[in-house]
Structure 1
Amino acid sequence: MQLLFKYNWMVREDWFRWCDELSEEELLQNRPGGMGSILHTLFHIIDVEWSWIRLLQGKADFQESFEEYNSLEKVRKLEAEFHLEVENFVNQWDDSMEERLLHNTLADGRIETHTWGEVIRHTIVHEIHHIGQLSIWAREMGREPISANLIRRGLSSSLKD
Structure 2
Amino acid sequence: MKHFFEYNWQIRDEIIELCKDLSHEDLFRKRQGGLGSIAETFYHIIKVEHNWIRDLQAKSILENVFHDFTSFNQIIELSRTLRPEIKEYVLKWHPDIENNILNVKPGNGKQIHCTYGEAIRHIIAHEIHHVGQLSIWFREMGLTPVNSNLIHRGLFINNHQYSSK
Per the TM alignment, residue 158 of structure 1 is displaced from its structure 2 partner at its CA by: 4.0
Q: Which amino acid aligns with 1:67?
A: H
Amino acid at match of 1:69: F
Give the whole-Å Cα distance in 2 for the aligned partners of 1:11 and 1:33.
21
| 1:21-65 alpha-carbon deviations (Å, 9 max, x no partner) | 000000001011121100111100000000000000000122211
3-state SS in 2 of match to 1:113: strand
Q: What is the CA distance between 1:109 and its match in structure 2?
A: 4.8
Code of the aligned partner of 2:39: L
In the TM superposition, residue 159 of structure 1 has moved relative to its aligned partner by 6.9
- Opposite residue 134 of structure 2, the aligned amino acid is L
| Structure 2 spans left out of the alignment, 5+ residues | 161-165
- Alpha-carbon distance in 1 for matches of 2:39, 2:133: 12
SS in structure 1 at match of 2:9: helix
**Do the aligned residues in 2 keep the contact of 1:45 with 1:130 (CA within 8 Å)?**
yes
Instruction: Considering Cα pairs closer than 8 Å and 6+ residues apart, tell me whether 1 or 2 has the greater RCO.
Output: 2
Gaps of 5+ in 1: none
Q: With the length of structure 1 as denominator, give the TM-score of the two structures.
A: 0.94
Deviations 1:116-136 (A, max 9, x none): 000000000000000000000
Q: Which amino acid aligns with 1:103?
A: N
C-alpha RMSD over aligned residues: 1.4
- What amino acid is aligned across from residue 13 of structure 1 in structure 2? D
Letter of the aligned partner of 1:2 in structure 2?
A: K
Percent same amino acid among aligned pairs?
42
Counterpart residue number, 1:89: 89
Instruction: Kindly tell me the number of residue pairs found equivalent between the two proteins.
Output: 160
**Helix, strand or coil at the partner of 1:70:** coil
Shift of residue 157, structure 1, vs aligned partner: 3.5
* SS of match in other structure, 2:144: coil
User: Aligned residue for 2:141?
Assistant: 141
Contact kept in structure 2, 1:40 and 1:70, CA below 8 Å:
no
2:38 corresponds in structure 1 to: 38
